Structure 1
Amino acid sequence: MPLRTTGKWAAADSATSPKLNSNGIPSFDSLPWRDGDPPHSAWGLYGSDDEQGTVNRLTDERVKDAAKNEIQTGERVSLNLRIDAQGGGSSFFHRKPFHQNIFRVGDFYVNDEEWTFNSQVSSQWDGPRHFGYQKDQKFYNGVTMEDIHGTNEKGEKSCALGISTWSEKGIVGRGILVDYHSWRLKQTDPAYKSFDPFSSWAIPLGDIKKCLQDQSTEVKFGDILLIRSGFQATFATKSPEQLASLHGDAPNHPLVGVEQSEDMLRWIWDNFSAVAGDQPTFEVWPTQKEWLLHEVLLGGWACPLGEWFDLEALGRKCQEKKRWSFFLASEPCNVPGGVAR
């Protein structure tokens, strides 16, 4: 089968090569384009050994255009939650919370420290080795669990699909915010008033598009999508005791997130290089289908999937400027073989 390695499809087998659109990708309906690959996967699109996935869409030209058009005032907004945002006692999905140990170094007037924490207890990107196709038991480009947990002939641990591959150039480009929370609060339909981010509330794609229209926000190919669901705004009002009770039913915490549908996948495939939200799963949880968006986004496309992003200050700044697009720069941790962060 032809593999894309230099930006153009090899012509050796044009009959089986997918037709590419003006953005250089095959249509969603043509996925998977290789027989036997999992549903909607794009394995081989950028080469059989590719680990960048949809980050390949963040070309130098697109990044340059984003910097030119989006950096207007020089103001900066952090999207990082405190690393101990969930508190020290418990966390969603029973992940190990952040712990810091500060100690003096010998007799010197010097301090060092040690951290221990699960890489997904605060703002982070899910990497492609985090989540694969459950039935097929394969990660992006056909990588197996054995590939990830194995060693090479020198006994060195595998770095296959490690998140450090995204740290080489970063996740950098034009970002857009869908401020669903602010849009929802303006709606008169009583159904929107019952919103509870600690329930399995599925954000419809139709609502996302209406929100973008209300904001007059244009979507451009290669954008980095951020969705403010309102989870963080509500999370901040909970007491430690209330949060501890919400943490009790892992792994089936009911959580707000985007709907699980082929239309949602199509929209993401057609437009974005990375996606992120302000809550722990991005998609509605638990899954309302027999499959999950994680499977396709990470296992099928190696699309960076951000969770726990702090979008409160960004939402306020966008509202102040009446502009919901911006230049976004993020560098995942340079951890060889890292799963997330």
Structure 2
Amino acid sequence: MAGRQSLNSLPLRDALAPQEDGPADSAWFWGPEDQLGRLNLQTPERVRAAAAHVRSGTVIPLNIPFDAPSPPCFGRQKFQHQIIRLDGHAFDEIYELNPQTGSQWDGFRHFGHVASGYFYNKTTAADIQGPQATSRCGVHAWAEHGIVGRGVLLDFARYAELKNIKPSMYENYSISFGTLAEVGKMQGLDLRREEDGGDIKIGDILLVRTGFMKHCRSISEDERAVHHLAKPKFGPEDRQRYIGVGQSEKMLDFLHNSYFSAVAADNPAFEAWPSHEDYYLHEHLLALWGVPIGELWDLEKLAEACATEKRWTFMLTSAPNNVKGGIGSTSNAIAVL
């Protein structure tokens, strides 16, 4: 723990003091060798507190099948499954997959800060690939730690249905911070920090249900293909366009100052894609702050259970894939109510 930030002195975003040569808004204060980012906030004390949210004992996996959605978004390759017969009474199998086609974690080596070229904690592209590559900030560090905390679901999709809002899932429809605050209010949650009298605790795992997966399942593969196979092009002209959390200063302040240990959603990019601004939330969450991003999670059964039990917090666990130097991971996530 030497050299790490005191959990009692976590700075607000407007008080960040980046390291020398560090980009503005960077929060690399867990030490130069850190590979966990805000997973450091998942302390034994907070894990025990998260376990106290298990009441009914309802177990809800949050993972879609490896072959969904079909076709994969962003033109990624399809999952391949091969069964091999060993002899008369035994079989093996081979998976060939891109972990980021389905329910996934974006790791710290997935998306860098565009202006500086840095990934989390001054990791560079040369650390990730090439003759000088290392395993620095690979997803194996998360696997060795595990991901366990209190999950908080904000069900925008249910809110939209009640308000007769019909967002387009295949446009970069932006869910604002003000809207998320209204969703929270509908659920009886105050999205201010606990220190400020609200319901958000340090180390919480934020989940946002946009309704994308529900819509995705309601249309044909041909209809999905029009959007999922559109040519990706980084920037505002990207033809891959999806609903998500909006980019704004208020959203950045909320995501940073709440000190979530991770965030996730049921859409392809967590944030509205492509960005409405000249930055992406991916840059801030992954590269500047060290916040894992989950995408394409299955939140349908969880949303139903939360509505039935009239509570929106629960214990959440995930076991990332132990791949040295890995870029991301299948989510392997479970909520326990």
Aligned to 2:145, the other structure's residue is in SS state coil
Q: Secondary structure at the match of 1:326?
A: strand
Match of 1:127 in 2: 107
How far residue 269 of structure 1 moved from its aligned partner, in angstroms, is 1.3
Matches within 5 A, 1:169-318: 169-187=145-163, 192-193=165-166, 195-217=167-189, 218-251=199-232, 252=238, 253-271=240-258, 272-318=260-306
Report the counterpart of residue 167 of structure 1 in structure 2.
143
SS at match of 1:63: helix
Question: Which residue in the other structure is 1:79 paired with?
Answer: 62
**Which residue of structure 2 aligns with residue 5 of structure 1?**
3
User: Does the 8 Å CA contact 2:210/2:267 hold for their aligned counterparts?
Assistant: yes
SS of the equivalent of 1:216 reads coil
Counterpart residue number, 1:16: none
1:125, CA displacement in angstroms?
Answer: 0.6
Cα deviation 1:29-80 (Å, max 9, x = unaligned): 122433432131112x010110100101111111111112x01121100100
- Give the Å deviation of 1:334: 0.8
Gaps of 5+ in 1: 9-21
Residue equivalent to 2:333: none
Segments of 4+ in structure 1 off by > 4 A? none
Cα offset for 1:91? 1.9
Where does residue 63 of structure 1 map in the other structure?
Answer: 47
Aligned to 1:12: none
Establish whether residue 26 from structure 1 lines up as the match of residue 2 from structure 2: no
Maintained 8 Å contact 1:138/1:145: yes
- Does residue 48 in structure 1 map to residue 32 in structure 2? yes
1:330 is aligned to: 318
Tell me, in whole angstroms, the C-alpha distance in 2 between the residues paired with 1:139 and 1:186: 40
Map of 1:97 onto structure 2 = 78
2: CA distance between counterparts of 1:300 and 1:263?
17
Pairs within 5 Å for 1:111-126: 111-126=91-106
Alpha carbons of structure 1 residues 129 and 315: separation in structure 2 relative to 1, 3 Å: same
Shift of 1:317: 0.4
TM-score, normalised by the number of residues in structure 2: 0.89
Q: Which residue of 2 aligns with 1:11?
A: none
Structure of larger gyration radius = 1
Q: Cα distance, 1:151 vs. partner? A: 5.3
Which amino acid is 2:256 matched to? Answer: W
1:37 aligned partner, one-letter code: G
> Are 1:151 and 1:158, in contact at CA under 8 Å, matched by a contact in 2?
no
* Percent of residue pairs bearing the same amino acid type: 38
CA distance in 2, matches of 1:47, 1:291: 26
One-letter amino acid matched to 1:40: D
- Number of aligned residue pairs: 313
For the residues of structure 1 that align with 2:245 and 2:3, how far apart are their CA atoms? Answer: 33
Offset from partner CA, 1:232-264 (integer Å, 9 cap, x none): 111011101111111232312110010111221
Matched letter for residue 91 of structure 1: P
Contact 1:150 1:158 in 2 (8 A): no
The Cα of 1:177 is off from its aligned counterpart by 0.3
Give distance in 2, aligned partners of 1:61 and 1:151. Answer: 42
Contact kept, 8 Å, 1:98 with 1:117, in 2: the verdict is: yes
Shift of 1:162: 0.5
Query: RMSD between aligned alpha carbons?
Result: 1.6
Which residue, out of 2, 13, 21, partners 1:36?
21
The Cα of 1:307 is off from its aligned counterpart by 0.2
Distance in 1 separating the partners of 2:124 and 2:145:
26
Superposed displacement of residue 6, structure 1: 4.6
Q: For the residues of structure 1 that align with 2:144 and 2:218, how far apart are their CA atoms?
A: 38
Shift in Å, 1:5:
2.1
Letter in 1 for 2:201: K
Which moved further from structure 2: 276-285 or 163-172?
Answer: 163-172
